[in-house]
């Protein structure tokens, strides 16, 4: 009755604020907060609250204008009204369908965003000992139907400054960690709201949080929260613990993915996971346990194809060797997930070590498809335009330019180098090819079995051996080389990159039997990247033992070289094998 919308004054003035009608509305808001413990979801009072909501909203706007925005209001009165409005709304958001209606109300998201900005200025926690504005905004964002549009409304309230929102949220989180600690609701509320604000990839809010190093900050919070829970056993830590892992799980695969995975590794994610593993059975919500396990079961293994990630994981592994958690994890529900992740990490680390140890022995081959002479890299001449294609003689360079298609691919390489904005390093790219070749060689019997079953009349050189690394366990399969250029999804690649791949495919197709083509799918944050590697056509005729022990010779770590290893690196080892065989035969 006292909060009916028609009773709200038309003007937000002090005289209107001092009327009995306004005072009764103020007391009605207080009564709602005091009765909050009676409201649960589902609630028999939901319909009544939905009918009352327009009046509550209209009175909230009035009190916000008079008691908060108006110049000259005493600080204590301002703080109290900020918290009263937020606490009233928080009471309503206990029921999901009411929170959804609140989120769709024009001006409601905007008002609560303003209260969120002001909440940090309140010297005491709250009327109900809870960061109400942060929690209410979190609930409204959670139930909003148009998530992207609602996030835009939050940013618009900050005058389009997404960076400001990120700074404020991270500041609240740091205040909680460095001040009251994880036992208070401040940290958990800040983390939950951050998860909501970053729930849409590609949105400016997500990029703002990433720009302010949120992954590193929150990963460190996860590790600290796990240690705090271990020491105190205080259930008040759980919201911050779950919220921090939730934020990391949601944001790890933003943009290119591997950048944030690397940062999380360097910031203590492995330590946090090991320490939380023993606590998993005590977490009250099963989906929270599944979410934490999924980080190491589903997300991280897919990025262990990046050399930079492998090295970051290796460094993190060494740091936790003396941590008791590295031993007790075998007695927890995380046992299988951890052991599989550790196995893959150790396998890839061994490959990196092998390639690094033998990089000085790098052999390459002439880029003239009619020659393909193998020799040490220093014995070749380099194309003076693209700086990547190598030739054993000027004659071979001329032939490749006039007859081998280099006139076209050279221009594409130059254009890609000049116009590219790519964060993948040359050494990561080189490792993609080395790992792909190694894995395909180890699985030659499987590929031949697949060929016999699916393409019984097709030579291996007319098939493309594929590996999908963008999954927890690699998938091995074949595709026909004929028409392969029409089966290439763009996956966000530039037109120039697509043209280069098409030129490489055409080269293999036109030089029938001389080459084989490999394709690997690499996790790349919000999408995947396809990497093509070309090898000598003799690959499929070799015995498996002939391929062992020579993978390091594909490794190149030349600071002056570009990333054009996708054309030359993959076939080098086979040419080197042939060269060795010829030398032995001559002896």
Per-residue model confidence as pLDDT tens digits over 300-337: 999 999 999 999 999 999 998 888 888 889 999 999 99
pLDDT of 569 strictly over 90: no
**CA atoms within 13 A of residue 539's CA, in its CB half-sphere:** 33
- Check residue 6 and report its DSSP letter: G
> What percent of the chain has a predicted confidence (pLDDT) above 70?
83
**CA 286/CA 271 separation, integer angstroms:** 22
- Alpha helices, DSSP H only, in 282-425? 286-294, 307-320, 325-328, 335-357, 394-402, 406-419
> What percent of the chain has a predicted confidence (pLDDT) above 90?
42
In sequence order, the β-bridge partners of residue 467 are 476, 520
pLDDT of 42 strictly over 70: yes
Contacts with 587 (C-beta within 8 Å, 6 or more apart), sequence order: none
Token pair 């591997």: residue:
258
Average pLDDT of the residues in 281-295: 90
Label residue 325 exposed, middle or buried (CB < 10 Å: 0-12, 13-18, 19+): buried
- The answer to whether 191 and 207 have CB atoms below 8 angstroms apart is no
Report pLDDT digits (tens) over 123-149: 555 666 678 999 999 999 999 999 999
**CA 461/CA 535 separation, integer angstroms:** 10
Closest residue by Cα to residue 429 from 305, 574, 258: 305
Q: pLDDT confidence of 151, banded at 50, 70, 90? A: very high
Report pLDDT digits (tens) over 464-484: 999 999 998 999 999 999 988
Handedness of CA 535, 541, 546, 547 (dihedral sign): positive
Q: Kindly report the number of other CB atoms within 10 A of residue 370's CB atom.
A: 12
Q: pLDDT confidence of 567, banded at 50, 70, 90? A: very low
């Amino acid at each position: 009755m006292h909060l009916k919308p028609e009773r709200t004054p038309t003007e937000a003035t002090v005289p209107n604020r001092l009327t009995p009608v306004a005072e009764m509305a103020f007391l009605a808001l207080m009564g709602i907060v005091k009765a909050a413990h009676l409201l649960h979801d589902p609630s028999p009072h939901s319909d009544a609250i939905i009918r009352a909501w327009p009046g509550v909203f209209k009175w909230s706007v009035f009190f916000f204008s008079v008691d908060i925005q108006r110049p000259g209001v005493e600080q204590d009165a301002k703080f109290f009204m900020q918290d009263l409005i937020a606490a009233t709304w928080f009471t309503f958001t206990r029921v999901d369908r009411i929170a959804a209606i609140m989120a769709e109300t024009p001006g409601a998201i905007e008002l609560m965003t303003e209260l969120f900005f002001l909440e940090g200025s309140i010297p005491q926690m709250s009327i109900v000992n809870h960061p109400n504005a942060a929690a209410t905004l979190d609930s409204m964002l959670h139930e909003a139907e148009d998530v992207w549009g609602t996030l835009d409304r939050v940013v618009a309230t900050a005058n389009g400054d997404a960076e400001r929102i990120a700074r404020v949220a991270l500041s609240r989180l740091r205040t909680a960690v460095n001040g009251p600690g994880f036992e208070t609701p401040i940290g958990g509320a800040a983390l939950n709201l951050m998860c909501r604000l970053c729930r849409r990839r590609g949105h400016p809010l997500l990029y703002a949080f990433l720009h302010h190093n949120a992954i590193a900050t929150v990963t460190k919070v996860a590790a600290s929260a796990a240690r705090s829970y271990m020491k105190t056993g205080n259930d008040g830590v759980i919201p911050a613990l779950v919220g921090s892992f939730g934020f990391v799980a949601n944001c790890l695969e933003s943009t290119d993915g591997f950048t944030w995975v690397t940062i999380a590794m360097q910031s203590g994610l492995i330590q946090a996971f090991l320490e939380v593993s023993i606590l998993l059975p005590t977490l009250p919500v099963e989906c929270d346990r599944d979410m934490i396990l999924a980080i190491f079961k589903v997300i991280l293994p897919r990025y262990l194809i990046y050399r930079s990630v492998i090295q970051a994981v290796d460094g993190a592994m060494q740091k936790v060797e003396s941590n008791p958690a590295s031993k007790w994890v075998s007695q927890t529900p995380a046992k299988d997930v951890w052991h599989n992740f550790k196995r893959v990490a150790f396998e890839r680390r061994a490959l990196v070590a092998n390639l690094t140890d033998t990089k000085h022995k790098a052999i390459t081959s002439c880029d003239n498809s009619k020659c393909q002479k193998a020799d040490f890299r220093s014995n070749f001449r380099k194309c003076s335009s693209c700086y990547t294609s190598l030739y054993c003689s000027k004659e071979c360079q001329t032939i490749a330019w006039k007859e081998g298609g280099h006139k076209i691919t050279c221009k594409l390489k130059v254009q890609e180098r000049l116009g590219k904005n790519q964060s993948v390093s040359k050494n990561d790219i080189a490792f993609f090819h080395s790992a792909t070749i190694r894995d395909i060689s180890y699985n030659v019997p499987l590929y031949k079995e697949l060929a016999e079953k699916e393409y019984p009349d097709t030579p291996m050189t007319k098939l493309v051996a594929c590996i999908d690394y963008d999954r927890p366990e690699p998938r091995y399969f074949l595709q026909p080389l004929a028409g392969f250029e029409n089966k290439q999804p763009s996956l966000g690649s530039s037109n120039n990159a697509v043209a280069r791949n098409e030129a490489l495919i055409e080269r293999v197709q036109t030089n029938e039997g001389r080459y084989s083509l490999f394709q690997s799918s690499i996790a790349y944050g919000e999408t995947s990247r396809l990497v093509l590697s070309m090898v000598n056509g003799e690959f499929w005729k070799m015995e498996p033992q002939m391929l062992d022990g020579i993978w390091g010779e594909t490794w190149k770590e030349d600071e002056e070289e570009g990333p054009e290893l996708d054309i030359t690196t993959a076939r080098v080892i086979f040419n080197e094998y042939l060269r060795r065989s010829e030398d032995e035969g001559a002896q």
